[in-house]
């Protein structure tokens, strides 16, 4: 019974479609395919957007709960040490074993410099000590950049002893 109800509409559409010229029929088919492709692309990006929204929502909630958990832990830890009268142990810094890291050997200059004797082995901006490699680079090229603050350290050719 439903086929009889739908069939007249389908017949009317096919009659209308066959009455239009061939170029119109081709354009209608191409337009229908283009609209179908746009709908598929739109649904894809809609689903992708919702997935990103859910992902970042859960990520934000997790980060918030993590921060709240750390705060509660620190409060409970502080209360524990306050109530028990014990002193909080100092934090231990992680020790990095530099022996396992392969170092690049640097060329040592053949000339001895008087920079260490003159007290020029520190950065003038941040005050950090220049490494031996930096001093040798400074002796060979006349300039070096501090690895801590990035400022340039320059010397004149008269500062280098022969």
Domain boundaries along the sequence of the chain: 2-84, 115-159
- Mapping DSSP onto H, E and C, the string for the chain reads CHHHHHHHHHHHHHHHHHHCCHHHHHHHHHHHHHHHHHHHHHHHHHHHHHHHHHHHHHHHHHHHHHHHHHHHHHHHHHHHHHHHCCCCCCCCCCCCCCCCCCCCCCCCCCCCCCHHHHCCCECCCCCCECCHHHHHHHHHHCEEECCCCCCEEECCHHHCCC
pLDDT beneath 70, residues of the chain = 1-6, 95-120, 156-162
Question: What pTM was estimated for this model as a whole?
Answer: 0.41
pLDDT of 57: 97
């Amino acid at each position: 019974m439903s086929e009889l109800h739908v069939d007249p509409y389908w017949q009317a559409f096919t009659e209308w479609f066959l009455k239009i010229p061939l170029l119109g029929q081709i354009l209608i088919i191409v337009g229908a395919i283009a609209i179908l492709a746009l709908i598929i692309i739109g649904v894809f990006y809609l689903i992708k957007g919702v997935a990103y929204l859910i992902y970042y929502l859960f990520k934000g909630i997790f980060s918030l709960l993590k921060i709240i958990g750390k705060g509660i832990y620190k409060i409970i830890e502080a209360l524990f040490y306050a109530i028990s009268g014990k002193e909080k142990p100092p934090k231990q810094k992680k020790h990095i074993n530099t022996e396992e890291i392969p170092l690049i050997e640097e060329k040592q200059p053949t000339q001895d410099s008087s920079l260490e004797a003159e007290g020029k082995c520190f950065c003038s901006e941040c005050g950090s000590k220049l490494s031996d490699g930096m001093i040798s680079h400074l002796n060979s090229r006349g300039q070096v950049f501090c690895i801590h603050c990035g400022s340039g350290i320059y010397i004149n050719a008269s500062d280098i002893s022969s």
